[in-house]
Amino acid sequence: MWERLPAIYHVFQQLLSDSHYTTMGRLYRQLATDADTLQQLSTHWAHVAFVGFNAFNKAEETFIKAWNDAGYASCWFDADTWYVQQAHQEAGDFLRRNFEVVGLRNELPLLSSIAQRTLPIQVTATEGQMAQAKQIDRWWQHIAQQQQDNKRIGILLADESLLIPVLQSLPASMQQVNITMGYPLQQSHVYSVLKLFFEVQQEMLQHQYKSVHHTIARRWLEHPLCDAGREDLAKLQEKILRENLIRVPVTALASLSKASALLFGRMMADMEAFQRLREMMELLIQLPVAKSDHMTKGLCTTVWKTLQQLEPLFAALRPQPDLYFMGSLLMKQLGSLSVPFEGEPLQGVQLMGLLESRGLDFDELIVLGANEGSLPRIKPPDSFLPDNVRRAFGLPVPEHQDAIFAYVFYRLLHRTQQLQLVYNALVTDNSTGEVSRFVQQLEFESKIPVHHSKVSYQVAPDAWPEITVAKDDAVMRLLSIYHMQESPKTISPSAINTYLNCRLQFFFKYLARIEAPEELEEAVEASAVGKVVHKLMELLYTECGSTFNNAISKVAVQWMQEHKERLVNEAFRLAWRRKEIKGTFEITGELHIVRAIVLQYVDLLLRVDEDYAPFTLKSLEVKLDESFTVPIKGSMKRVVLSGYVDRVDEKDGVVRMVDYKTGSDNPSFHSLEALFERDGNKQNKAAAQTLLYSWMFRQKFPAQRNFEPALIAVRHLQQYSNQVQLIHKAADEVVSHQNIHTVLEAFETQVRNVLAELFDPTVAFDQTPDVSHCQYCDFAGICGRG
């Protein structure tokens, strides 16, 4: 490769000439080698002064030396004897070369400010990157107390990523601020739109331009610069949640607005991206001020101009880059753009980057980001030339960069009266937590007093107060919906379990009716798996009952085994999406794994039924509503319990209430009293629910004496040898049709006690003492237990 470089260089130079382009390096070379340049420039200016410079490259040294010798140019170097006359001081490396090697004359006398300085330097360590910006307020209060006008005040950022936090932390009393740094495009909403454009196009390309993932779609729908109407946005977002759309059709997105059409419309060619992005910027500029402020419009204009300049360059590339490569190059180029702030450079506080301060003097100065790694900044050279080649030919190397930063830092000491350096003392992936070595050099090599301090913010959040809702008249009115004479609201078994779990949770969910925010279910959780299993069993038994006239034999069960894969997708659609959503349900990604789990669970359930067959299917999804009288404020009131039994079947004159469970539930419970414990670990919600169904069944069908509950806990079938009857451990018996009435008498007493407590005005709705119950509670954030 190195042998070919000369030929590549000459071809490149010829291409530049033919295209009427140039580079900065070529311009410098022309100034250094063209003998007519000096004579041509002298016709424009009588004299050229180079003020405030420090580091010159070889070309600059050549033509400045020639002009200096001819008397056409003069050099004014702002330097101090401290680092110029000490050879080990890197801050003076370039100046010593300018004086001793190049032979340039300095029109300014060397200062002795550093050796004579007695004013201290304040060095402040903060705990965190953003905490540095918060020091500006304290620093500004100190300056304001002095009440001295005409002071030259500056805020310098050694780490320019602090610009946005600093802007957000400027005190209100700092009325005049001139920001010489540009607002970075990369930290703006405009940049996120540009980035989203290429992500959308790549996503559509991978899915035949039919749909995009919901996370990408919602990034646009929730974007501050989205130009779609509020009603249209709300409708589409509601549809995504209602239909649980993992992938959103691009047609629905593209029809929202003009910008949406540009974002989600199919491109006929990759180069069309330039035209689309320019049109996108034009649309964003036209947005009302409430969405697109002056800075955003400025960024859009800058991006538009840059795209206009880059398009012919990309169009000339052969072969044409694909969309991914073009997008990465374009985003890298656009990411370096910024828009200047408007300000008065001669008034107020000057806010700028460290290197921008080279020709300025200040009286009061604070430097943020004075960490090792930011001061000096560690940045590899933008070149493919290795370090040894660069050194051999006198090209810039990292030491040169350090010398430039050292000069800029030491120059701050020339005339600044009060200097404060702030750095982040926390050790992170991006920071060593050390102050710049330049500060340590001052401490060990000079007599300047350096005062260190550390600012820490003690974060001690107040303890969350206990939340208790007393049953005052307003709360009792809310409870009255359960015991109205006409159309009372029913109490479900899950509501009773919620009350036992946490009284306050019951209040939030059933009385205050606080709804958890609806979220898209992409990763199917255990509860969602259970819904699909229940729905698939319902579909299978519905068809099987119709086919075999509700006579479920072993042959009928085998028929269901053979048809379960045919119906599983429909079960997903009905259980995981709303019933009103028509069409097939597409199984994609990890849903294939969930589908396999559902089929495995159903297979186990059907095997249990096959062992129990033959039996008669009586009904599916049976709703049970039964009244229960409880004392409320001295009188007996009627409340209604309600629930759904998965299946009712009959064999040999015994009716079963069958409940499927796919979670960690098991058919064994310690005692009837333990089912209603709040603080113990002997609860069994599934067993309590199944017994409550049995009680409601007995109340509704008093003539039916032979019945029993059946709990098919699919994950515990092997552990309990396919046992589906409830196991009463304290009584050492199973709950069957032979003892069900005795069990239900005691069970009814426990239910009555719970309901009486629920309507007792002296028992408040308070938090559960067992915080383990809060792990999956939708209201844990309200209680501070999330």
Check pLDDT > 80 for residue 522.
no
207 vs 528 pLDDT, higher one = 207
Check pLDDT > 70 for residue 519.
no
461 vs 153 pLDDT, higher one = 153
Check pLDDT > 90 for residue 397.
no
Same domain, 129 and 257: no
Q: Which domain holds residue 435?
A: 120-181+348-455
Same domain, 34 and 81: yes
* 519-533 as b/e: b if 16+ CB within 10 A: eeeeebeeebbbbbb
- Listed in sequence order, the DSSP H helices in 316-417 are 323-335, 387-392, 398-411
Check pLDDT > 80 for residue 779.
yes
**Using 50, 70 and 90 to split pLDDT, how confident is the model at 521?**
low
Same domain, 197 and 278: yes
Same domain, 318 and 332: yes
Average pLDDT for 707-719: 87
Same domain, 255 and 242: yes
Average pLDDT for 750-779: 89
Q: What is the pLDDT of residue 666?
A: 86
Q: What is the pLDDT of residue 56?
A: 92
Q: What is the pLDDT of residue 755?
A: 92
Q: Which of 21-30, 300-309, 442-451, 585-594 has the lowest mean pLDDT?
A: 585-594
Average pLDDT for 209-233: 92
**Beta strand 153-157 pairing with 349-353:** parallel
Strands annotated E in 196-243: 211-213
Q: How far apart are CA 425 and CA 442, in angstroms?
A: 19
Phi, psi of 394 (to 5 degrees): 70, 25
- Give me the percent of the chain exceeding a pLDDT of 90: 54
Render pLDDT for 77-100 as a digit per residue (tens, 0 to 9). Answer: 999 999 999 999 999 999 999 999
Q: What is the pLDDT of residue 582?
A: 59
**Using 50, 70 and 90 to split pLDDT, how confident is the model at 278?**
very high
Q: What is the DSSP letter of 107?
A: S
Q: How far apart are CA 139 and CA 155, in angstroms?
A: 10
Q: How far apart are CA 368 and CA 373, in angstroms?
A: 13
pLDDT, mean over the chain? 89
Render pLDDT for 121-144 as a digit per residue (tens, 0 to 9). Answer: 999 999 988 899 999 999 999 888
Q: What is the pLDDT of residue 632?
A: 83
Render pLDDT for 231-249 as a digit per residue (tens, 0 to 9). Answer: 999 999 988 887 778 889 9
DSSP string, 57-95: -HHHHHHHHHHHHTTSEEEE---BHHHHS-TT-GGGHHH
Average pLDDT for 374-381: 82
Q: What is the pLDDT of residue 781?
A: 85
What is the CATH number for 353?
3.40.50.300
**Using 50, 70 and 90 to split pLDDT, how confident is the model at 764?**
very high
Average pLDDT for 113-119: 93
Average pLDDT for 146-168: 88
Q: How far apart are CA 250 and CA 265, in angstroms?
A: 8
Q: Residue 50 domain-assigned?
A: yes
Same domain, 226 and 310: yes
Q: Residue 687 domain-assigned?
A: no
**Using 50, 70 and 90 to split pLDDT, how confident is the model at 460?**
low
Check pLDDT > 60 for residue 578.
no
Domain boundary residue among 281, 315, 340?
Answer: 340
Count the domains in the chain.
4
Q: Residue 618 domain-assigned?
A: no
Same domain, 65 and 174: no
263 vs 321 pLDDT, higher one = 263
3-state SS class at 648: strand
Same domain, 226 and 324: yes
Q: What is the pLDDT of residue 95?
A: 96
Q: What is the pLDDT of residue 626?
A: 87
Render pLDDT for 297-350 as a digit per residue (tens, 0 to 9). Answer: 999 999 999 999 999 988 888 888 888 889 999 999 998 898 888 777 778 899
Check pLDDT > 70 for residue 505.
yes
**Using 50, 70 and 90 to split pLDDT, how confident is the model at 487?**
confident
Number of residues that make up the chain: 786
Q: Residue 408 domain-assigned?
A: yes
Tokens 């800029």 sit on residue = 408
Distances (CA, A) of 235 to 252, 581, 764: 11, 15, 40
Q: Residue 79 domain-assigned?
A: yes
115 vs 587 pLDDT, higher one = 115
> ∠ CA 712-699-643 to the nearest 5 degrees?
50
Q: How far apart are CA 487 and CA 34, in angstroms?
A: 99
Q: How far apart are CA 57 and CA 27, in angstroms?
A: 13
Check pLDDT > 60 for residue 524.
no
Average pLDDT for 457-477: 84
722 vs 642 pLDDT, higher one = 642
Q: Residue 218 domain-assigned?
A: yes
**Using 50, 70 and 90 to split pLDDT, how confident is the model at 27?**
confident
Average pLDDT for 380-402: 83
- Give me the percent of the chain exceeding a pLDDT of 70: 95
Q: What is the pLDDT of residue 683?
A: 80
Same domain, 175 and 276: no
Domain boundary residue among 564, 585, 613?
Answer: 613
For the beta carbon of residue 282, count every other beta carbon within 10 angstroms. 15
3-state SS class at 418: strand
The answer to whether the predicted template modeling score (pTM) of the entire model surpasses 0.85 is no
Q: Residue 686 domain-assigned?
A: no
Same domain, 282 and 406: no
Average pLDDT for 161-189: 90
Domain boundary residue among 455, 475, 490?
Answer: 455
Same domain, 146 and 88: no
Q: What is the pLDDT of residue 766?
A: 93
**Using 50, 70 and 90 to split pLDDT, how confident is the model at 680?**
low
Q: Residue 756 domain-assigned?
A: no
Same domain, 199 and 327: yes
Average pLDDT for 181-208: 92
